[in-house]
Structure formats: C-alpha cells, structure tokens
C-alpha cells in the first residue's frame, strides 16, 4: 500500500477529528480508523503536533527548514576554514 504524505496542517486537522469522535463516544482505535490513519501515525502526530494549532505547525516547519539551511551553511564555512588552515600550515 502506497503511503500518503500528509501536510502538517492536515495532521493537526485529523488529530482534532479524532478528539471529536472520541468525545462522541467512540474508542480511540475506532476514531483513528475513521479518519484513515494508522495508530502509529496518530501517536507520532500527537507527540509531534499535540497542542499546536495549524498556524503554529506551519511556523514550526518553516523554522525547522531555516535551521537546517543554517546548519548546512555553518558546516560549509567550517569545512572552508579547515581547508584554509591546512593550506596555511603547508605554506609555512
């Protein structure tokens, strides 16, 4: 079965749907099946997006992407610095 990649906003919406169904008397397992995700996915989403709202999730993902970009930039600069230090040692 091919897996579908849900956007974070969709994950938050499905978490809310499960909460509504549980409050209406369904078991958690039934509610999870009703929204069309596996229990593993539901609990992973709940751990990751638990108390967040859709706009907060979007901002979180933007910050994670920016953080990854900055980490790559720092690692590139560190590598450049090490190369220059090696070259300087060779010229001495």
Encode pLDDT of 5-15 as tens digits. Answer: 888 888 888 99
Q: Rounded to whole angstroms, how far apart are CA atoms 31 and 22?
A: 6
Nearest by Cα to 34 from 49, 51, 22, 47: 22
Q: Rounded to whole angstroms, how far apart are CA atoms 35 and 89?
A: 62
Under DSSP, the state recorded for 4 is P
Q: Measured in whole angstroms, how far is the alpha carbon of residue 35 from the centre of its chain?
A: 20
Q: Can you give the pTM of this predicted structure?
A: 0.61
Over residues 39-74, the pLDDT tens digits come to 999 999 998 888 778 788 888 889 999 999 999 999
């Amino acid at each position: 079965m091919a897996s579908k990649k849900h956007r974070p906003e969709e994950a938050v919406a499905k978490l809310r749907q499960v909460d509504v169904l549980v409050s209406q008397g369904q078991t958690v397992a039934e509610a999870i099946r009703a929204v069309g995700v596996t229990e593993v996915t539901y609990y992973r989403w709940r751990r990751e997006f638990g108390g967040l709202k859709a706009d907060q999730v979007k901002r979180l993902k933007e910050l994670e992407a920016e953080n990854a970009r900055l980490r790559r930039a720092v690692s590139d600069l560190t590598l450049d610095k090490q190369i220059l230090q090696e070259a300087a040692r060779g010229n001495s």
